[in-house]
A = this chain, B = another copy of it.
């Protein structure tokens, strides 16, 4: 059976494969990217859903507009507007999760002829979505503030380019945020090089302190497609996300969505809309942020206690992840093998690099593990690293303890 050329670019996410390994009972898993079900507003979702099906079921179960449920589009536009910059409902397309937003952007903007610039390391789901449209990727050297503008310019000088993909807030996998100054520089750089910036922001609202930097789309709506999601702030199983695009681009994205799935389920869109009414998100986000902040504190404290010298990491100010750098020469995938033997799991950093992986990195998620188990799991990781005498940067590799 002959497949399309693009089919050979499709891959199962390495991380999903790792997750399958780590789902066995009894394992302390820092591997998943799942949000904590404790943060799902279950009672409210149940109440609004029942209300919708009691009062307006025929409409809630019928086909609906590709663009999305109009009241939800308006709410998203208001929610994403700032004092300085109004987002119009006509710029909003409701999508089947933010993954679909990336897929539609790929369909409309990406082809084989021009490079997509990506961060290093980069969120894997974006690489998957865009690879399906046969994008050549170009990795942009990135520092602790995000992609380096001069490196973007240099890449654009070497290649035909279409888009720059960034996760500006509490990035998956590194947890880092792009400061305001760097956002402005990157936007200027996008203008210079005719780039569309794909601003993928699933975690911005999980800022522990509650403050958020201006989004790139609010700084310059003309060259940014903003991608948002209710997955981390309400519930991912509803698969409701959205994108905000320049008015000239939105109709094409709507056509792409019509071809892709006609529309996002009417019922789940209405559930989201009814849930966020009466200023619910303000209170709900306070609770959700507190929850993740406390989880993060537990993990940082365990890391300080059990991995004091072998690692390099920065406490994130929001989101769900801590990025850990092991001593040079230590292979995180071998550490994973040893860790799984002790019923602890995480995701090695290598798959997040499109090229030249830094194999001594790993991602820890603290979202779903109870505090006592966070401590226990991190202590086991510390034990493995100490046993292997990995406490100095000149120590042996982990090969000796990698059992398979």
The proximity string for A residues 352-391 relative to B, scoring 1 for CB distances below 8 Å and 0 otherwise, is 0000000000000000000000000000000000000000
The proximity string for A residues 132-163 relative to B, scoring 1 for CB distances below 8 Å and 0 otherwise, is 11000000000000000000000000000010
- A399 CB within 8 Å of chain B: no
Contacts A107-B7, A252-B7: A46 and B40 contacting too (C-beta < 8 A)?
no
Min C-beta distance of A163 to chain B, whole Å? 11
- A238 CB within 8 Å of chain B: yes
CA distance A251 to B237 in the complex (A): 22
> Across the interface, do B62 and A256 meet the contact criterion of CB distance under 8 Å?
no
Determine the chain B residues whose CB is within 8 A of the CB of A239 once the complex forms.
96, 261-265
Determine the chain B residues whose CB is within 8 A of the CB of A260 once the complex forms.
99-100, 103, 129, 132, 260
CA distance A75 to B378 in the complex (A): 42
Determine the chain B residues whose CB is within 8 A of the CB of A34 once the complex forms.
62-63
Across the interface, name the chain B residue whose C-beta is closest to A130. B259
The proximity string for A residues 173-199 relative to B, scoring 1 for CB distances below 8 Å and 0 otherwise, is 000000000000000000000101000
List which A1-55 residues lie within 8 A (CB) of chain B: 1-7, 10-13, 16, 34-35, 37, 40, 42, 45-46, 49-50, 53-54
CA distance A268 to B266 in the complex (A): 11
Interface majority SS (helix, strand, loop, mixed), chain A: helix
> Across the interface, do A132 and B256 meet the contact criterion of CB distance under 8 Å?
yes
> Across the interface, do A57 and B46 meet the contact criterion of CB distance under 8 Å?
yes
Cross-interface CB contact of A40 among B37, B61, B96, B254, cutoff 8 Å: B61
Determine the chain B residues whose CB is within 8 A of the CB of A7 once the complex forms.
107-109, 252, 256
Min C-beta distance of A324 to chain B, whole Å? 24
- A236 CB within 8 Å of chain B: yes
CA distance A316 to B103 in the complex (A): 39
Min C-beta distance of A320 to chain B, whole Å? 13
Cross-interface CB contact of A259 among B35, B45, B57, B103, cutoff 8 Å: B103
> Across the interface, do B42 and A61 meet the contact criterion of CB distance under 8 Å?
yes
Contacts A1-B196, A261-B96, A262-B99: A61 and B237 contacting too (C-beta < 8 A)?
yes
List which A259-306 residues lie within 8 A (CB) of chain B: 259-268
Determine the chain B residues whose CB is within 8 A of the CB of A317 once the complex forms.
none
Across the interface, name the chain B residue whose C-beta is closest to A128. B259
Across the interface, name the chain B residue whose C-beta is closest to A135. B4
Min C-beta distance of A21 to chain B, whole Å? 15
Min C-beta distance of A48 to chain B, whole Å? 10
Residue with the highest number of chain B CB atoms closer than 10 Å, among A1, A6, A260: A260
CA distance A237 to B108 in the complex (A): 25
> Across the interface, do B53 and A40 meet the contact criterion of CB distance under 8 Å?
no
Determine the chain B residues whose CB is within 8 A of the CB of A61 once the complex forms.
37, 40, 42, 45, 235-238
Determine the chain B residues whose CB is within 8 A of the CB of A262 once the complex forms.
97, 99, 125, 239
Determine the chain B residues whose CB is within 8 A of the CB of A49 once the complex forms.
49-50, 53
- A392 CB within 8 Å of chain B: no
> Across the interface, do B10 and A237 meet the contact criterion of CB distance under 8 Å?
no
> Across the interface, do A249 and B129 meet the contact criterion of CB distance under 8 Å?
no
Across the interface, name the chain B residue whose C-beta is closest to A33. B63
The proximity string for A residues 109-136 relative to B, scoring 1 for CB distances below 8 Å and 0 otherwise, is 1110010000000000100110111000
- A60 CB within 8 Å of chain B: yes
Cross-interface CB contact of A258 among B13, B54, B96, cutoff 8 Å: B13
Residue with the highest number of chain B CB atoms closer than 10 Å, among A4, A45, A252, A255: A4
Nearest first, the 3 A-B pairs at minimum CB distance are A237-B266, A61-B235, A37-B58
Besides the known contacts A12-B251, A268-B268, 11 further A-B residue pairs in the complex with CB atoms under 8 A apart:
A2-B162, A6-B111, A7-B108, A7-B256, A10-B255, A12-B255, A37-B58, A42-B58, A46-B53, A46-B54, A237-B267
